[in-house]
Structure 1
Amino acid sequence: MNILIVDDDLVDRKLIKKMLISDGSHHHDITEVTCVSEGLDAIENTHFDIILLDYNMPKEDGIEMLIEMRAKPKLGNTAIIMISSSENSALAIECIEAGAQDFLPKGDITRDSLNKALIYAKKRFEAEQRMHNSYLAVKHMAERDQLTGLSNRYHFEEILKVMIANNKRAKNCVALLALDLDNFKNINDTLGHSVGDEILIQTVERIHSCLRQNEGFARLGGDEFAVIIGGICNINQIGMIANRILAEVSKPFLHEGRTLNCSVSIGSALYPNDATESHELLKCADIAMYRSKQSGKSRISFYKEQYQYEFSRRVDIQNSIKEHIEEKNFRLFYQPVYCSKTQMMTGVEALVRWPDTTIHYTPDEFIPIAEECRLIDPLGKWIIASALEQLSLWQQSYETPLTLSINISPIQLQKKILETYLLETIKTYNLKTSSIILEITETAFMENSKEVIEILTSLSNKGFRIALDDFGMGYSSISHLISYPIDIVKLDKSMQSLDGENNKRLKIIESLSLMLKKLDFSVVAEGIETKAQHQLCKKLNIDYLQGFLFSKPMPANEINLILDDYCRKIILK
């Protein structure tokens, strides 16, 4: 063994060395030093198997060397036996608790006891090292995300606390970025989790390339990440890093020759400006990130106090949606659709409304939230079942043929179970698929177009009629009319702003209407509120009309009154 003796007493050193040399069964390389500083210098340059360390020395006690060695992994990789002229048991316990493998009173040392102590101390130290390494391995697994190798949420929160404490002493700011991939669930749902995992790994690599080595980076779960940036002097530093991340992540991903697009929304919160506690800072960054999502995604938002109210409102709406779905409290209103030539109601559009409670939210508020938190699936099923049941009642009570339009969310279109549910519900209420119009916005065609085409084509083949809603809202492309199985085109509400002076827009509407007619689409003008708009629709030979000029959305019993009136007119004729 390679042994270091640290003892200021020359006689004791010589005695111990003699005992070690006299043991002919073992060969030892022995180094002697007289104080702690010499001992530390020795272990800096040479690895020793055992250190025999005297407790009491003039300048520094051996226990100080022991504590320093155990505090520094590079110095502490050696078994240590403390030796002392004292036989105090409390002293022995202190040494063992500080990291020594054994304690030997000098008066009890013999050749045999010394050699046994060396062997046992070395084996004990090796066993302790194995246990420590196992602990470190388990600790690493507990603190790391298995897919990406990044810190997980638990470890990240510990790092954040330390980072805040360090920067507090240095009187620096700490920025926390909360990142969430946009529409990542679509990739998992349509291409599978293995592809999703590959995108996550590539995303981590791209974000890593935008960060300095000392900036904390963690995966908090799913497609959520966080970055800690210390030593912030001004907000521009945060913006520069965030914009680099936005640019890198937005670059196309390649998978088996296929191009996939993904982006990230980022929220930023600053210590101590926005919060002084780590959990509050993380909450503020999350709120800012949700603001980025609501503002169009693929951007950064800096936390503002007003966002707290907006976030709380959003959480209240989300919780209320879930509760009202379970209790079936939502209401359906129906807006009539009229034939332009006969002025007769030919169909209705089913529109979901918030329950009749003291707190009221508009569809523009709660439907996007239902889509984001995946509550649109159960809500959509309730709308389909309730609307089809009502259509069945109307068809049983009135001879007037009536179509029913149902708005289908892009989220619902991503699941083939939609078709199964529609067909089962239609069978339950003995309806024909031709009486159902499924309204799809152009936004749905911009994501997963291949899958959307397959689902819509299958629905069309089963007899459902497909309406392209809000045509001209910004994603407009004539190619959609050709590529997708569309039967009906609903012009958006931009016609409301037409007047005699807006010649360019008028000519666009005229040309668009003519083109749709030549392509044999049925055309519906929605949002008609004035007589001038009505006259324009007549001039353009629009097929169907819908808007407040004719009728607001109403409950089913008021639709009954319209149908009753039609029946009376038929009888009178």
Structure 2
Amino acid sequence: MKLISNEEALALAALDAAPDSILIVDDTGAIFRANPAVELLTGYSAEELSGQSVSIFLPPHMRSKHSDLVRKFFLNPVARPMGMVSQLQLLRKDGLMVSVDIALGHCTMDGLLAGVVFMRDMTEVKRLQEDMRYQATHDGLTGLANRWQFMQHFEQAIHRARRSGRTLALLLLDLDEFKDINDAHGHAAGDQVLIEVARRLRSSLRAGDVIARLGGDEFTVLLPDVPSMDHVLTVVQKLQRSLSASCRFKMGELSLGASIGVAAFPTDAQDSGMLMRFADMAMYAAKTQGRGTHAVYRPEMSEALRLRNQMHERLKRAVETQALELHYQPQVDVKTGAVVGVEALLRWHDAELGCVPPDHFIPVAVTSGLIHPLGDWVLETACRQASLWDGNGTPVRVSINLSAQQFRQTQLPARLQQLLDQHGTRADLIELEITETEAMAEPDTTRQVFDRLRALGISIALDDFGTGYSSLAYLRLLPVSRLKIDREFIRQVMENNNDAVLVRAVIAMSHMLGLPVVAEGVEDAAQLGFLRSNGCESYQGWLFSKALPAAEITRLLGRFDCSAAWESCDAPA
């Protein structure tokens, strides 16, 4: 029996304890020693490997080539560290391939040159690398490509389209009123919506189309090799149908929607930067048209975007400096002619833009998020003014229009209670107006919000009645204080028999439900006479007065016994 020295014993102990797999091979590549870690990596025991060629760890078709490499190594044995060969795999005993890295060394044993092979299992490292690569190129929430990855695909697609002469289309999608979902239900609910949107986009597009989440609620779709713009618009319409289908989430049923902007290569622009910019312009143009619409880029949108950006900056400054004001349009008792209420209406005169109509700046406020501070300012200003009129002995109901964004905010009742307390405003002097269309979008949710508002003592009016599609079954369950007939029906009531029939029907239906009616947009005596003969309780419009500053309303109220007038106006005829 051969005795081994202390140094050899120490070397063998280190070999057996090493975490990496280590093989000792002769100059033919035959294995004559393997440490215990080799069995964990390869599935072969040391006894099974003894005398076997190291090429046992390679697929059969690679073994002859590997034998040549072994011979070359022993002719010029140069140590090689880990990391020199990428994508190296080892064939296990069970037939599975394992990612490994190897290092080579050499030593002398019993006077003969031997090779030392260090093998390291890279499975976990490869998995971590793949995870890191995926995280670097994909959105963590939806699994879609992220902005960086999308731009790589985008540049490659433009290069291919330029060579082939084909058309590609870029779609930018921005979810409608997504911030309201976050505000009303929390960010976890918003995440559910984003995941669902990603799922719907995937299911509506071809395998070769590229979908990405750019951030927030903004998504983009790249349609390579499209045959025509008609095809693109067909895809856009398909996406909008898919997104607009209601979906039940943990927080309840929601109707989704997106505004989509479209730009095409090479028609609109020749590079990715300009295409992104033009698609963005088209998307904002779609936003101004209303929920769930799309727009294709046109050159005149560039000027429109410049004006919109200017208006946004000026409006932001106006909100910050409280440079807007409220005017109030009187609501008048049809029978007595007394002022029984006023509707608060926003007015904005800008030093650069002049007088800006609400239908111009409100859409900008909505798409930019300014509607939230702007709406809060309106609530506070109106509550303060109602308290001042009450303190002067001329109490009058002040009606305040709620935006869809305000209405969906969970903190709305608490904020109103805070304002009532802060300014000492009687709750019964405040009326909130919400459009019929918005109220009926989610009737069950609407009823819950209405109940919370009515619990404060605040009344609620259903605005623009007749323009939506109310269900009487829902309407009778909503705690509404009055209905407002849209001005479009009043405008033609004396000339258009259909409008006259509808107005009569609305008044009769409202009275059956025990609700008084306010008619908007009354401009001549004949219209007023029609309303009087059909039992309408009150009206507003230029026949009596346009919207006036608070000081002029104060003088107007001084001519009436408001304490009696506004309290008697709620009973339907």
TM-score, with length taken from structure 2: 0.76
Contact (CA 8 Å) 2:29, 2:67: kept in 1 or not? no
Counterpart secondary structure, 1:400: coil
Contact (CA 8 Å) 2:519, 2:539: kept in 1 or not? yes
Q: Deviations over 1:472-511 (max 9, x none)?
A: 1233444454121111211111244335553332233223
Superposition pairs for residues 58-457 of structure 1, below 5 Å?
77=88, 115=114, 119=117, 134-255=128-249, 259-359=253-353, 360-397=355-392, 399-457=393-451
Counterpart CA distance in 2 for 1:49 and 1:130 is 29
| Offset, 1:171 | 2.6
Equivalent in 463, 468, 476 of residue 482 of structure 1? 476
Contact (CA 8 Å) 1:48, 1:78: kept in 2 or not? no
Q: CA RMSD in A?
A: 3.8
| Offset, 1:558 | 1.7
Counterpart secondary structure, 2:399: strand
Counterpart secondary structure, 2:556: helix
In structure 1, the residue matched to 2:46 is none
Counterpart secondary structure, 2:295: strand
Counterpart secondary structure, 1:354: strand
Counterpart CA distance in 2 for 1:49 and 1:294 is 72
Q: What percentage of aligned pairs have identical amino acids? A: 31
User: In the superposition, relative to structure 1, how do residues 29 and 103 fare at CA in structure 2: closer, same or farther (>3 Å)?
Assistant: closer
Contact (CA 8 Å) 1:404, 1:435: kept in 2 or not? yes
Counterpart secondary structure, 2:232: helix
Counterpart CA distance in 1 for 2:111 and 2:541 is 103
Counterpart CA distance in 1 for 2:64 and 2:30 is 24
| Offset, 1:155 | 1.4
In structure 2, the residue matched to 1:465 is 459
| Offset, 1:547 | 0.6
Counterpart CA distance in 1 for 2:376 and 2:202 is 42
Contact (CA 8 Å) 2:413, 2:453: kept in 1 or not? yes
Contact (CA 8 Å) 2:397, 2:431: kept in 1 or not? yes
How many residues end up aligned between the 2 structures?
A: 498
Counterpart secondary structure, 1:150: coil
Judge which range, 232-241 or 406-415, deviates more: 232-241
Q: Deviations over 1:165-199 (max 9, x none)?
A: 22222232221122233344454445554454444
Equivalent in 539, 547, 554 of residue 541 of structure 2? 547
Counterpart secondary structure, 2:548: coil
Q: Which amino acid aligns with 2:372?
A: D
In structure 1, the residue matched to 2:570 is none
Counterpart secondary structure, 2:528: helix
| Offset, 1:351 | 1.0
Counterpart secondary structure, 2:198: helix
Superposition pairs for residues 32-71 of structure 1, below 5 Å?
43=62, 51=69
User: In the superposition, relative to structure 1, how do residues 305 and 446 fare at CA in structure 2: closer, same or farther (>3 Å)?
Assistant: farther
Q: Which amino acid aligns with 1:392?
A: S
Counterpart CA distance in 2 for 1:246 and 1:452 is 25
Superposition pairs for residues 527-566 of structure 1, below 5 Å?
527-566=521-560
Q: Which amino acid aligns with 1:542?
A: C
Judge which range, 407-416 or 493-502, deviates more: 493-502
Judge which range, 178-187 or 156-165, deviates more: 178-187
Q: Deviations over 1:308-348 (max 9, x none)?
A: 33333333333333322221111111111222222222222
Contact (CA 8 Å) 2:263, 2:297: kept in 1 or not? yes
Q: Which amino acid aligns with 1:445?
A: A
Counterpart secondary structure, 1:228: strand
Q: Deviations over 1:249-274 (max 9, x none)?
A: 34443447965432333322111221
Report whether the alignment pairs 1:510 with 2:496: no
Counterpart CA distance in 1 for 2:111 and 2:153 is 49
Q: Deviations over 1:329-384 (max 9, x none)?
A: 11111111222222222222111111442314211122233233332222122112
| Offset, 1:468 | 1.4
In structure 1, the residue matched to 2:567 is none
Contact (CA 8 Å) 2:28, 2:71: kept in 1 or not? no
Q: Which amino acid aligns with 1:510?
A: R
Contact (CA 8 Å) 2:334, 2:532: kept in 1 or not? yes
Contact (CA 8 Å) 1:20, 1:115: kept in 2 or not? no
Judge which range, 140-149 or 258-267, deviates more: 258-267
Counterpart secondary structure, 2:300: helix
User: In the superposition, relative to structure 1, how do residues 230 and 114 fare at CA in structure 2: closer, same or farther (>3 Å)?
Assistant: farther
Counterpart CA distance in 2 for 1:472 and 1:406 is 20
Q: Which amino acid aligns with 1:376?
A: I
Counterpart CA distance in 1 for 2:346 and 2:504 is 32
User: In the superposition, relative to structure 1, how do residues 241 and 498 fare at CA in structure 2: closer, same or farther (>3 Å)?
Assistant: closer
Q: Deviations over 1:222-279 (max 9, x none)?
A: 3322221222332233233333333333444344796543233332211122122212
Q: Which amino acid aligns with 1:277?
A: D
Q: Which amino acid aligns with 1:151?
A: A
Q: Which amino acid aligns with 1:390?
A: Q
Judge which range, 151-160 or 170-179, deviates more: 170-179
Q: With a CA cutoff of 8 Å and minimum separation of 6, indicate the structure with the bigger relative contact order.
A: 2
Counterpart CA distance in 2 for 1:180 and 1:290 is 9
| Offset, 1:156 | 1.0
Counterpart CA distance in 2 for 1:262 and 1:49 is 64
